Structure 1
């Protein structure tokens, strides 16, 4: 007998079975940005549950290459300060935020929520692909004791950073 629950992921409803079926998503992020991999459960129904996120396919127990773990109320452990729970754990938001992603962060991530009973765990898997950001060539201009770095951020605007001994400013110029 399978009971189905709804899993809400950034505006999309994914149905999965509590018997161990894995729902999956694909995320593309740019180097240097923060990315959040979504995972939620119904904390009002289940109460506070321990959760882990790991790299690689979700094994039959626990998380492969665990990167972060929650005891249901707070973070219990993490591999690096770059891995965070930014949502409200007590409300079932166990989404993983990775700060300043790098290309080496690309791969499969699995979320496991430990639901009591056999074969009841919520499992959610995401494939993260981190792509290089747009590179910018900087030009250095020195005028009146000021160093001006100019970098094109798109086809129309320049991002200008002005640094002096006492202050720095950033402005957009068409």
Structure 2
């Protein structure tokens, strides 16, 4: 019976001590996936951090990027980059030119001193394929669109010509008529 109590206490302490956060990230194929992870350097000091394709028992599985306790970064491939201020605890991972095979879980693990104190951030990345662009023209819709466009152009032209050839007198002639002065300019005699 003591062994069961010991296991129960061990599991309880383990679950309370480890900080695990779960997130989801969706990105289009060929884009950049930004996976966020941060910790307080003021509170915990500069710590070792890893990003991997999963969280192992003591460290990341299939390590992609990791730092040591001095902030030195090592990476397995140029597509994986830490962004943000590493010395300030900003450990965001950018995955460039994302592929469909990049889908799945990612683990950021911060090695915090003490037993069962590690911080884990688990991000599940989903890479969606880019939809192929194809030009499809629906003939009835196209003819309707052209008809509406032609009607709008005709109305616009009608209004423009109506305004140009309206019977209104220019403002200076209206002024002259109101003041009952004879118009002396722009007078022509037709033979």
TM-score class, shorter: 0.5 to 0.7
Q: Label 1:33 to 1:42 Cα distance change in 2 as closer, same or farther (>3 A).
A: same
> Which whole-Å CA distance do the structure 2 matches of 1:135 and 1:73 have between them?
46
Matched, 1:80 2:77: yes
Q: TM-score, normalised by structure 2?
A: 0.59
> Which whole-Å CA distance do the structure 2 matches of 1:47 and 1:18 have between them?
21
Following TM superposition, by how much is the alpha carbon of 1:134 offset from its aligned partner in structure 2, in angstroms? 2.3
Structure having the higher strand fraction is 1
Q: More displaced, 76-85 or 17-26?
A: 17-26
DSSP 3-state at the match of 1:136: coil
Would you say how many aligned residue pairs link Structure 1 and Structure 2?
121
Among candidates 25, 32, 51, match of residue 30 of structure 2: 32
Q: Label 1:61 to 1:132 Cα distance change in 2 as closer, same or farther (>3 A).
A: same
> Which whole-Å CA distance do the structure 2 matches of 1:30 and 1:97 have between them?
14
In the other structure, the counterpart of 2:17 is 19
Structure with larger Rg = 2
Q: TM-score, normalised by structure 1?
A: 0.65
Deviations along 1:70-114, one digit per CA (max 9) or x if unpaired, are 124544321210000111001100111101101010010001000
Decide whether the 8 Å contact of 2:51 with 2:60 is kept in 1: yes
Q: Label 1:72 to 1:33 Cα distance change in 2 as closer, same or farther (>3 A).
A: farther
Following TM superposition, by how much is the alpha carbon of 1:21 offset from its aligned partner in structure 2, in angstroms? 3.9
In the other structure, the counterpart of 1:55 is 53
> Which whole-Å CA distance do the structure 1 matches of 2:89 and 2:46 have between them?
7
Decide whether the 8 Å contact of 1:38 with 1:96 is kept in 2: yes
Deviations along 1:123-159, one digit per CA (max 9) or x if unpaired, are 1101000011122359xxxxxxxxxxxxxxxxxxxxx
Structure 1 unpaired stretches of 5+: 1-16, 139-174
Structure having the higher helix fraction is 2
Structure 2 unpaired stretches of 5+: 1-14, 136-191
> Which whole-Å CA distance do the structure 1 matches of 2:76 and 2:132 have between them?
29
> Which whole-Å CA distance do the structure 1 matches of 2:63 and 2:100 have between them?
19
In the other structure, the counterpart of 1:133 is 130
In the other structure, the counterpart of 2:94 is 97
Following TM superposition, by how much is the alpha carbon of 1:62 offset from its aligned partner in structure 2, in angstroms? 0.7
DSSP 3-state at the match of 2:60: coil
In the other structure, the counterpart of 2:44 is 46
